[in-house]
Amino acid sequence: MRKRWIAAAVFFLAFLAGGCRGAAPGTADSAPYEEEPEGSREHIVIGFSQIGSESDYRTANTESFKDTFTIENGYYLLFEDAQQKQENQLKAIRNFILQEVDYIILDPIVETGWDAVLQEARDAGIPVILADRSVEVSDTDLYTCWVGSDFEEEGHTAGEWLVGYLDEQGRSEEKINIVTLQGTPESTAQIGRTSGFAQVLDTQHNWNMLEYQSGDFTQAKGKEVMEYFLCTYEDIDVLVSENDNMTFGAIDAIQEAGRTCGPDGEIIVISFDGGRAAFEAMVRGEINVDVECNPIFAEQVAEIIDKLEKGEKVEKIYYVDEQYFDTSMDLEKIMEGRSF
Ligand code: AHR
């Protein structure tokens, strides 16, 4: 049977386990013992293993969870930032199990290597909800459900957009040289986007994928890899960059090399995430299209937990609503209504 602890007790155990890092209202990181509500008010205790802080998406995603799983909303959140290392995530999950949390939320950096630890959570009777990225395990009953993006669909959307754009430009028969800046190898976001785009690539006889290289979803590596692409290939028509932060680095590399990109430039830029800074880059004419990856979905996870608390059945997969944005749209107006 699951145990529900009062927040103060969990804070004490989190402290013992050395799990106190960072700071945010209503989380185990920051909520001081004295500020805990008096008496025996119960909270649902959540252990959240976040990947890191490699991108604007990640920052917004962390904020979404910290803003949703608050003391005021009836939760006690133990938040662990794995700093882009799977070993840290495994350690965090084992600590959550030791602390007998009510639920574990896991955003897995890569898809493989989770069977043993998820089995341990299952043996302890703790439901695991996957958020954002997913896992490849021998038995899908090792986790309760996955809430995240349809990454393959995102990649496919990007490919279909390029078909239409080249057609509009009268370039549908021209040889089109493409380079791809991939995300963290073996992550669901990388696998899905690469394969979704490749499905369209395979149907286009004139598209030539020059090279795939990982920029690990970071701006610094995105810049480094783009510098290499620019030195290696004279004629690049399209850059597919699997997240906005790598795109920002790549744009810096393109501009520093005295080259141009965007709707009026030499290199067509396709990006993913659709954060505010990317909208601004589209408005400046540096990015052609951005396929959204929505990080604001913690409320959806809270609804799932609510159902589980009531003993209701939940679906296995919940996809977050997403669309794409390009420079033919009224981007300034769209930006007004966006929180990321
Ligand atoms: O898993 C989602 C991806 O991870 C986002 O595209 C990226 O920005 C992040 O780091």
The per-residue pLDDT for 317 is 98
Output the CA 13–ligand 1 centroid distance in Å.
Answer: 31
Which ligand 1 atom is the nearest neighbour of the CA of 56?
8
CA distance linking residue 304 with residue 290, whole number of Å: 29
pLDDT at 34 over 90: no
Contact of 77 with 66, CB cutoff 8 Å: yes
Output the CA 195–ligand 1 centroid distance in Å.
Answer: 16
pLDDT at 21 over 70: no
pLDDT at 9 over 90: no
Output the CA 133–ligand 1 centroid distance in Å.
Answer: 9
293 lines ligand 1 (CB under 6 A): yes
Query: What pTM was estimated for this model as a whole?
Result: 0.90
Output the CA 31–ligand 1 centroid distance in Å.
Answer: 28
107 lines ligand 1 (CB under 6 A): no
Which ligand 1 atom is the nearest neighbour of the CA of 54?
10
Q: Who's near 340: CB < 8 A, 6+ residues apart?
A: 56, 57, 60, 274, 275, 276, 294, 295, 296
- pLDDT tens digit sequence for 317-337: 999 999 999 999 999 999 998
243 lines ligand 1 (CB under 6 A): yes
CA distance linking residue 255 with residue 326, whole number of Å: 21
3-state secondary structure of 299: helix
- The tokens describing 153, both together, are 């669909």
pLDDT at 172 over 90: yes
57 lines ligand 1 (CB under 6 A): yes
The per-residue pLDDT for 79 is 98
157 lines ligand 1 (CB under 6 A): no
- CA 264 vs. chain centroid, Å, equals 30
Which ligand 1 atom is the nearest neighbour of the CA of 295?
2
- pLDDT tens digit sequence for 178-228: 999 999 999 999 999 999 999 999 999 999 999 999 999 999 999 999 999
CA distance linking residue 111 with residue 71, whole number of Å: 31
- pLDDT tens digit sequence for 256-306: 999 999 999 999 999 999 999 999 999 999 999 999 999 999 999 999 999
- CA 10 vs. chain centroid, Å, equals 28
Output the CA 217–ligand 1 centroid distance in Å.
Answer: 7
CB atoms within 10 A of CB 339: 10
Residues across the chain: 340
Q: Which residue's CA is the nearest one to ligand 1's atom 2?
A: 189
Q: Who's near 249: CB < 8 A, 6+ residues apart?
A: 215, 218, 219, 220, 221, 222, 223, 224, 226
Q: Which residue's CA is the nearest one to ligand 1's atom 6?
A: 243
Q: Which residue's CA is the nearest one to ligand 1's atom 3?
A: 189
pLDDT at 135 over 80: yes
Per mean pLDDT, which range of 40-49, 126-135, 181-190, 192-201 is the poorest? 40-49
* E strand residue ranges, the chain: 44-50, 75-81, 103-106, 128-132, 145-148, 176-182, 207-214, 238-241, 268-273, 289-292, 317-319, 324-326
The per-residue pLDDT for 31 is 40
Full DSSP string of 114-136: -HHHHHHHHHTT--EEEEES---
| Mean per-residue pLDDT, 36-55 | 81
| DSSP code at position 316 | S
| Mean per-residue pLDDT, 118-126 | 98
Output the CA 150–ligand 1 centroid distance in Å.
Answer: 12
pLDDT at 36 over 50: no
The three state secondary structure string of 57-83 is HHHHHHHHHHHHCCCCCCEEEEEEECC
Contact of 300 with 317, CB cutoff 8 Å: no
Output the CA 43–ligand 1 centroid distance in Å.
Answer: 30
Q: How many Å is the maximal CA-CA distance in the chain?
A: 72
